[in-house]
Amino acid sequence: MNILETICVNKRLEVEQQKQATSLVVLQRQIAEQKRAKLSFKAALQQSATGIIAEFKRQSPSKGLIHPGADVAEIVSGYENVGAAAISVLTDNQFFGGSFDDFQVARRVISKIPLLRKDFIVDEYQIYQSKALGADVILLIAACLTPDEVARFSTLAHELDLEVLLEIHNADELAYIRPTIDVVGINNRDLKTFTTDIRHTIELANQLPDGFVRISESGLSTPETVLQLRQAGFQGFLMGETFMKTDNPAQTLRAFNSSLRLLE
């Protein structure tokens, strides 16, 4: 199996264990007790001056450990303070070193911008779980799902007042786009090989349907590339490693935004 297939097989096993530990009824009760209103991911990107979605990412299958001892509260609050449009937090543990604790800490300190739960969602249970964790938006990866699953999962997400980011990788996956998708992302990283190619986003961009907010994901490291993609119609840019590999991710984001403004 390739890495994506391995992750998805592992995720299905994880979800079955999570169902045993916390029932759907418990998640539904937690959701019913929530008081906070959802923040719109789509609107945040449309209104942002930079469109940067800053990611908290401890490690990756391709790069290993990225930021030893990363303090989630310090980093994500720093991201918010220096102008991130939204924040993404990985919750996959085995392959990315994330956790529900990371997300819950981020939820406690982030209040002004949307929070994306970044994981490999393969079961409706995880959508209830995401809402219970306090997510504003979830990620659905076309390569992990069938078109019918994307339709069902995105409909359920909207019923729970969550927005949906659909990630695609090639022209075949354009068929996964539904009216219940809020934002379409093109991942520059091939999830089967974990290699990146920024040209892939640009080639696929013109084939996206009109009317969807579009973002570019992975392999973004320079203001020049972000500006080029913005000129091609992209309104969001999901970036993690570029910031997380430095000693102070928030200050790196601040400097990145300053460089981006100089180019405009």
Q: What CA–CA distance (Å, rounded) separates 75 from 98?
A: 14
Q: What CA–CA distance (Å, rounded) separates 102 from 138?
A: 16
Pick from 133, 164, 136, 134: which is nearest to 151 by CA? Answer: 164
**Burial class (CB within 10 angstroms; exposed 0-12, middle 13-18, buried 19+) of 127:** buried
pTM exceeds 0.85, yes or no: yes
pLDDT digits (tens, 9 = 90+) for 14-24: 999 999 999 99
- Average per-residue pLDDT in the chain? 94
Q: What CA–CA distance (Å, rounded) separates 77 from 82?
A: 9
The CATH number fitting domain 3-263, selected from 3.40.30.10, 3.20.20.70, 3.40.50.300, 3.60.21.10:
3.20.20.70
**Burial class (CB within 10 angstroms; exposed 0-12, middle 13-18, buried 19+) of 259:** middle
Residue spans per domain, the chain: 3-263
Q: 252 — phi, psi (to 5°)? A: -65, -40
pLDDT digits (tens, 9 = 90+) for 36-82: 999 999 999 999 999 999 999 999 888 899 999 999 999 999 999 99
pLDDT digits (tens, 9 = 90+) for 128-160: 999 999 999 999 999 999 999 999 999 999 999
